[in-house]
Amino acid sequence: MSNKRIVLAVTGASGSILAQRFLETSREEIHLVISSNSDQVIEYETGHNSEHFKKMASYVYDDRDVAAKISSGSFIFDAMVVMPCSMNTLAKIAAGISDSLITRAAAVSLKERRRLIIVPREMPLSLIALENMERLTRAGAIVAPAMPAFYTRPKSVDDMVNFVVGRIMDLCGIDNELVKRWKEEERD
């Protein structure tokens, strides 16, 4: 077990199943924050309410609590993952706005040069969204869109979800068997 300390932020973009799979699969110390706008998306897409997500986390914070411990640069963690990331939250982080715990913790990740992984879900993308992604990348974040590959010949939504979540875990340095790796069997 790699035993990483991960801040997982869930926002109101489509793709709450990605956060659900991360929570179900990970054995790490997860510090979870869910934006209030995510609640209806989580219920609509997964059939569970956000309490179901919270039960799987090690620690849970209210997004309105900008004084929570993850809001401080003195809180050490291995990576912050915003998944799924709405264009709204992405724009706020890119603009340096810190009016919620999620946006504050992301701003802290950038200023402390910690690993910040943004997993946006939107299609198509406006110039504004693309410029915000460029800005985040220049500031040190990793923009890793929720884009499954097809060379793995996915047979189900689960396969596609596992691919995306597995690649995000790779970026966090978390050991995982979710990703079917390219030509791996040929190397063994």
Interaction site with ligand FMN (CB under 6 A): 11-14, 35, 37-38, 40-41, 44, 86-89, 121-122
Tell me whether residue 88 or residue 98 sits nearer to ligand FMN (CB atom).
Answer: 88
Q: Residue 161: how many CA atoms within 13 Å on its side-chain side?
A: 18
Range 153-161 contact pairs with CB under 8 angstroms and sequence separation of 24 or more: 157/17, 161/17, 161/18, 161/21
In the complex, the smallest distance separating the C-beta of residue 120 from ligand FMN, rounded to whole angstroms, is: 7
In the complex, the smallest distance separating the C-beta of residue 35 from ligand FMN, rounded to whole angstroms, is: 3
In the complex, the smallest distance separating the C-beta of residue 96 from ligand FMN, rounded to whole angstroms, is: 16
What is the DSSP pairing of strand 59-62 with strand 79-85? Answer: unpaired
If you count them, how many residues does the chain have?
Answer: 188
In the complex, the smallest distance separating the C-beta of residue 45 from ligand FMN, rounded to whole angstroms, is: 7
Tell me whether residue 130 or residue 173 sits nearer to ligand FMN (CB atom).
Answer: 130
Q: Which amino acid is at 55?
A: K
Tell me whether residue 25 or residue 88 sits nearer to ligand FMN (CB atom).
Answer: 88
Which residue is nearest to ligand FMN, using beta carbons? 12
Residue with structure tokens 């590959």?
149
